[in-house]
């Protein structure tokens, strides 16, 4: 009996030892394949009240914009750390919000209403709250996108209650803009409506009508903001991609109307999906959305090449994300892979739902303490430059690799994501211009940022950087994130269940010179 137990123990030990695999990651440094906006990383704020509930939980708390504590020090420091962060305020309820400006003197509070859109009545943005929001934006240096109510002036079609007909009434939006201009508030961009395109979610608008409405918004912005250098961008249609609707909209919208073509992605299914944790670690599943990114990018190139494709909202799993998955380390496999993929498909901006609120928040909804994806986003923002490089390898599909010219300094930055729970990848970067590894000799040490979950638990809300937990400082500031310095001639060891950013100055890439 003792011998049997010993054999079992030895076998168990053998199985638990992780394997290792050598992988050459090829980087084409001659030309870039795409470019992103300088502020590619974006996070969203939403309108949901505390009683927004799904699956017997109400994960929004006080995080909706009407209740959010905009004077919270952790929130302010977390946003400031990006210097600057792009933020979009929008979401499902934006097409039921009126603004307390101009003739809109009454300001109704949004309440539960069974026959209202998404189960809520119309609501109102008070002037005082708008002032608070802009004080916060000014203090933190945010590049701000504001989603406007696109259903003003419209009514339900008699044939189809979800179809809204008639022209957009810009009167209320005009009053908000005039007030904002008088106060010197800086708006980077205005977006029209939320998820009204294609089949819509709770409401929809015809593609030709939407083109007409957003042209009206463009004319309004041009009229009010005389200086073309500081004029806000116009974005749309802020919904789910279907080729027929998008192509029709872009054909009808006219040259120079739209600056960003925004679409939404929730490719992981519902937040209560029991298989969610497996989906975010399945490279085959994650790749299925690539065709959408390619199609949107091509539509934009054909119809309105001056405008860029944007992911205007993406939370992975819809209905507020997945509890104990979307807010933990493992979600980084989905999120950072999405960033790499969309950048390679020439998307300019990627807005993560949400900065705060729901289970998919980058900051804890009650404590404001950053979740692991916050740090992944911050590292991307600081390290990955605008020019995207072609990167490939012939190793396991569980190793994902993306490369950009470095944001600061010479060389390139490569993102390596290891979704395997048992294999360490020993990675060598190969420059397609040279036979030597890492593209040339240099005295400059390689900088590596290894992200791993605390105690090896992929559902941990604490992430380690090079083995040290990332925690707020005593003054509630975001901690410094210093790299590990490594001899550039050595291989990059990407441990199981880990994410690594690698900045190598010795990699000679003409696309980055």
Residues with catalytic roles: 195, 313
Pairing state between β 446-453 and 484-486: antiparallel
Helices 372-383 and 331-344, packing angle to 10 deg: 30
337 within 8 A of 400, measured Cβ to Cβ: yes
Give the contacts of 5 (CB within 8 A, at least 6 positions apart).
none
Torsion over CA of 460, 463, 466 and 470, rounded to 10 degrees?
-140
Q: Are strands 412-418 and 399-406 parallel, antiparallel or unpaired?
A: antiparallel
10 Å CB burial of residue 326 (0-12, 13-18, 19+) is buried
The crossing angle, in degrees rounded to 10, of helices 171-183 and 127-140 is 50
Query: Could you give the CA distance from residue 414 to residue 495 in angstroms, rounded to a whole number?
Result: 16
30 Cβ contact partners less than 8 Å away, ≥ 6 residues apart: 432, 433, 509, 510, 511
Query: What are the tokens at 211?
Result: 């083109």
Q: What is the DSSP letter of 168?
A: -
**255 CA to centre of own chain:** 27
Q: Is 57 helix (H, G, I), strand (E, B) or coil?
A: strand
CB atoms within 10 A of CB 334: 27
- Of 42, 41, 88, 36, the C-alpha closest to 345 is 36
Question: Cα–Cα distance between 206 and 237 in angstroms, integer?
Answer: 11
Give percent helix, percent strand, percent coil of the chain, each to the nearest 5. Answer: 25, 25, 45
């Amino acid at each position: 009996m003792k011998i049997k137990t010993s054999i079992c123990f030895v076998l168990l030990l053998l199985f638990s030892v992780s394997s290792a695999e050598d992988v050459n990651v090829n980087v084409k440094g001659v030309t870039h394949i795409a470019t992103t906006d300088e502020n590619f990383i974006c996070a969203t704020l939403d309108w949901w009240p505390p009683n927004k509930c799904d699956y017997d939980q109400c994960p929004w708390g006080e995080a909706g914009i009407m209740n959010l504590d905009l004077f919270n020090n952790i929130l302010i420091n977390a946003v400031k750390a990006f210097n600057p962060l792009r933020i979009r305020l929008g979401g499902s309820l934006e097409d039921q919000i009126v603004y307390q400006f101009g003739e809109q003197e009454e300001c109704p509070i949004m309440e539960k209403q069974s026959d209202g859109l998404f189960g809520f009545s119309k609501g109102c943005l008070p002037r005082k709250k708008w002032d608070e929001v802009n004080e916060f934006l000014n203090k933190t240096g945010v590049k701000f996108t504001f989603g406007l109510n696109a259903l003003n002036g419209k009514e339900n079609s008699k044939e189809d209650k979800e179809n809204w007909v008639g022209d957009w009434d810009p009167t209320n939006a005009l009053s908000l803009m005039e007030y904002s201009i008088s106060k010197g508030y800086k708006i980077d961009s205005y977006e029209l409506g939320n998820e009204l395109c294609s089949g819509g979610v709770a409401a929809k608008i015809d593609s030709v009508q939407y083109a007409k409405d957003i042209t009206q918004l463009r004319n309004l912005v041009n009229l009010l903001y005389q200086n073309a250098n500081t004029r806000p961008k116009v974005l749309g249609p802020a919904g789910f991609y279907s080729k027929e609707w998008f192509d029709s909209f872009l054909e009808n919208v006219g040259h120079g109307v739209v600056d960003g073509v925004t679409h939404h992605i929730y490719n992981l299914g519902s937040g209560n999906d029991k298989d969610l944790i497996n989906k975010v670690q399945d490279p085959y599943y994650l790749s299925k959305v690539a065709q959408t990114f390619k199609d949107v990018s091509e539509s934009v190139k054909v119809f309105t090449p001056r405008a860029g494709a944007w992911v205007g909202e993406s939370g992975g799993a819809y209905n507020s994300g997945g509890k104990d998955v979307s807010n933990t380390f493992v979600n980084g496999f989905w999120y950072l892979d999405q960033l790499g993929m969309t950048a390679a498909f020439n998307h300019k901006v990627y807005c993560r739902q949400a900065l705060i609120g729901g289970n998919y928040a980058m900051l804890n909804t009650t404590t404001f303490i950053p979740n692991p994806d916050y740090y992944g986003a911050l590292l991307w923002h600081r390290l990955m430059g605008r020019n995207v490089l072609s990167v490939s390898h012939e190793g396991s599909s569980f190793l994902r690799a993306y490369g950009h010219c470095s944001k600061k300094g010479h060389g390139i930055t490569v993102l390596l994501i290891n979704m395997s729970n048992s294999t360490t990848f020993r990675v060598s970067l190969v420059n397609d211009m040279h036979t030597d590894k890492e593209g040339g000799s240099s005295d400059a040490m390689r900088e590596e940022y290894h992200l791993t979950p605390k105690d090896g638990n992929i559902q941990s809300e604490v992430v380690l950087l090079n083995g040290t937990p990332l925690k707020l400082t005593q003054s509630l500031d975001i901690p410094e994130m210093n790299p590990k310095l490594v001899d550039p001639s050595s291989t990059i060891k990407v441990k199981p269940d880990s994410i690594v950013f690698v900045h190598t100055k010795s990699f000679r890439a003409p696309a980055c010179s």
